[in-house]
Amino acid sequence: MAGKGFHQLKRWHQRALDVMRSPTALAFLPALCLGGFWLGGEGALMALAGAVPCLYLVMGGVARAGGPSAMVGDIADRTTFEDIVSDISDAMEDSPRQSALYAIAIEDFDMLVERYGQTLADTVVERTGQRIISVLRSADRVGQLAEGRFAVCLAPVRNLDLESCIQLGGRMQVAIEEPISVDGVTIYVTVGIGFCQRERAPGGLASDWIEAAACAMRVALRRGPSGLRAFSDQMRQETLNRAALYDEVGGALDGGQIVPWFQPQICTETGKVTGFEALARWCHPTRGMISPAEFLPAIEQSGLLERLAEVMMYHSFAALKAWDGAKISVPHVGVNFAGTELSNPRLIEKISWELDRFDLQPERLAVEVLETVVADTGDDVITRNIASLSEMGCQIDLDDFGTGNASIASIQRFSVSRIKIDRSFVMKADRDPDQQRMISAILTMAERLGVQTLAEGVETVGEHVLLAQLGCDHVQGFGIAWPMPFDQTIEWLHAHNTKLKEVPRIMTGRLK
Ligand code: C2E
Ligand code: CA
Ligand code: CA
């Protein structure tokens, strides 16, 4: 109750200040003094001359109306800002005027604090606030909602279209992102900005409006750096869907909704299938098929990556047994392991147990490890796990090769069996000499190190033929086949093997 009364008082104070600072009030000051003299004589004039400046001093009006950085008044704290937004929102209820609310976040703020310390980070926040103010008009309002996070509510105007909102957002971004010099250190910050026009805000409450801008800001941060996004209804739906995924993901894993789909890998020399990669798919009962890009973050944040690996391994081993049973040769299945799973000290035990259960040899499993994990790892458990898996006889595939700066030493240290050349090098390789040079360099290095190669994301016959000619050992991609559910693999394998028997080898003679 006391808090509410205090905020009410603050709002009155703010309104009184607004009136006192307005040009109209200032223009009437001389008239007020003259009126006082006319009615009450010299005494009244003296009293007014003393009382008015005192009133301004007490209310803080002189200081605030003074310097340029104070043009829009103070930077309000969260609660005061919500009150301000409430007032603006109420005032606009039956008015044709328009407004917009911006949410602004300094990107990687925690890293900034870690790198430069709290004092410097505070200075950056202060300058950011000043820079935001510098591009606004005097009646616009600014609030600081959290450390490194600001919000701006524009004073209502007659015309405020989407284009003007985007332009203002861009101007704030440019102003904030100017390098900041503090104590001889130059700091570069980027900001993600989201905004919501009043008429687009869902719900009538000020908090709904602020949340809508914050939702757009979060999307801007995800798409950043320096993202700028306008709130839309679709955005809200996506956010709700994403939130729902978090609630459902555990049940989906245990309930068998998340399963591997399989994408074949073939040998460029013989055309034969040398393996399948297991790629996670969520077959959602109402939303259809959901890709890993959408649900992996939910799995990761729910701490369920290990459970995912178990599920993927279980289904992959069951698939190997089924192909064996159908007398179709599929030498191995590649399963993706994220860094967190690889740091589990009991990983080897778990994999051995699972292989035994299915009576499969370790070489039937290819462990796909991202190049970034190998390059970054100072983690002894990861190093030991990968080395043990390799000793056991599992294949180690270095995934997304070319994107993670793994050293040649680490390729040897981890006993990598094969590198998977990232799709970014393969794209348009048949038409782009630069791409060809990069692929050739990777292939030469792999040959010298005695490791096998696989090109990912092969989409066209041209790319396939070029990779074969350059001497890449294996290819995988939509050009060969899209990932498919297990049920379709046997039919696909039969068709592929029949085609191989009918057609003499296409890829002959390698370019060196
Ligand atoms: P990745 O391991 O690099 O897998 C290859 C991705 O490229 C797959 O995307 C695949 O569908 C896609 N792809 C295959 N051929 C082509 C092509 O010709 N063109 C293009 N444009 N794309 C192609 P997907 O299935 O969406 O998986 C994305 C990523 O999610 C994977 O990248 C992998 O890092 C991760 N992921 C998938 N399944 C699992 C899993 O079970 N566990 C973990 N930890 N990560 C997984
Ligand atoms: Ca992979
Ligand atoms: Ca990959």
Dihedral pair phi/psi, residue 137, rounded to 5°: -90, 165
Ligand nearest to the CA of 275: 2
- DSSP per-residue string spanning 206-239: HHHHHHHHHHHHHHHHHH-SS-EEE--HHHHHHH
175-192 burial string, b = 16+ CB within 10 Å, else e? bbbeebebeeeebebbbb
| Distance from Cα 93 to the centre of ligand 1, integer Å | 49
Per-residue pLDDT reduced to its tens digit, 238-277: 778 888 888 899 999 999 999 999 999 999 999 999 999 9
**Confidence at residue 30, expressed as pLDDT on a 0 to 100 scale:** 62
For ligand 1, mutation pick of 259, 279, 484 (most atoms within 8 Å of CB): 279
Helix axes 305-325, 233-254, angle to 10 degrees: 60
Give this prediction's pTM: 0.66
Ligand 1, atom nearest to 260 Cα: 41
**Distance separating alpha carbons of residues 89 and 85, to the nearest angstrom:** 6
Per-residue pLDDT reduced to its tens digit, 441-500: 999 999 999 999 999 999 999 999 999 999 999 999 999 999 999 999 999 999 999 999
**Distance separating alpha carbons of residues 51 and 54, to the nearest angstrom:** 5
Q: Do 198 and 100 contact (CB within 8 A), yes or no?
A: yes
**Confidence at residue 16, expressed as pLDDT on a 0 to 100 scale:** 58
The answer to whether residue 183 scores a pLDDT higher than 70 is yes
Strand-pairing partners, residue 278, are: 262, 335
Distances (CA, A) of 330 to 276, 416, 429, 485: 8, 21, 28, 16
Ligand nearest to the CA of 278: 1
Strand segments, DSSP code E, in 159-225 are: 180-182, 185-187, 191-197
Long-range contacts, stretch 87-95, CB < 8 angstroms, 24+ apart: 87/11, 88/141, 88/153, 88/155, 88/156, 89/198, 89/204, 89/205, 89/206, 89/209, 91/156, 92/156, 92/198, 95/156
Which residue minimizes the CA distance to atom 14 of ligand 1?
477
**Confidence at residue 404, expressed as pLDDT on a 0 to 100 scale:** 75
Ligand 1, atom nearest to 456 Cα: 15
| Distance from Cα 335 to the centre of ligand 2, integer Å | 7
Per-residue pLDDT reduced to its tens digit, 109-144: 988 888 888 999 999 999 999 999 999 999 999 999
Closest among 125, 131, 146, 194 to 166, alpha carbons compared = 194
Residues touching ligand 1 (Cβ under 6 Å) are: 263, 279-280, 291-293, 296, 308, 312, 336, 338, 399-400, 423, 457-459, 477-478, 483
**Confidence at residue 71, expressed as pLDDT on a 0 to 100 scale:** 38
- The DSSP H or E segment spanning 152 is strand 149-153
Q: Do 336 and 276 contact (CB within 8 A), yes or no?
A: no
